[in-house]
Amino acid sequence: MKTAIIYASTYGSTRKVAQTLNQKIPDSTLVDIKKQSIDPANFDTIILGSSIYIGQVDKQMKNFINGYKEVLKNKRIGIYFCCGFEENLQTYLDTNFDKEMIKDAIAMTMGGEMDVSKMSFAHKMITRMVPKSEQGKNREVTLHPEKVEEFVKQMFSQTE
Counting contacts by CB under 6 A, is residue 20 touching ligand FMN? Answer: no
Counting contacts by CB under 6 A, is residue 9 touching ligand FMN? Answer: yes
Counting contacts by CB under 6 A, is residue 4 touching ligand FMN? Answer: no
| Cα distance between residue 96 and residue 51, in whole Å | 12
Counting contacts by CB under 6 A, is residue 129 touching ligand FMN? Answer: no
Contact partners, residue 45, CB within 8 Å, separation at least 6: 1, 2, 3, 4, 75, 76, 77, 78, 155
Partners of 107 in beta bridges: 79
**Which residues between 62 and 121 bind ligand FMN (CB under 6 A)?**
82-85, 88, 112-114, 119
DSSP letters spanning 131-159: PPPTTSSPPP--B-HHHHHHHHHHHHSS-
CB of 121 to ligand FMN, least distance (A): 11
CB of 115 to ligand FMN, least distance (A): 8
Counting contacts by CB under 6 A, is residue 149 touching ligand FMN? Answer: no
Cβ atoms 72, 39 nearer than 8 A: no
Q: Which of 66, 91, 95, 127 binds ligand FMN (CB under 6 A)?
A: 127
Residues near ligand FMN (CB under 6 A)? 9-14, 51-55, 82-85, 88, 112-114, 119, 123, 126-127, 141
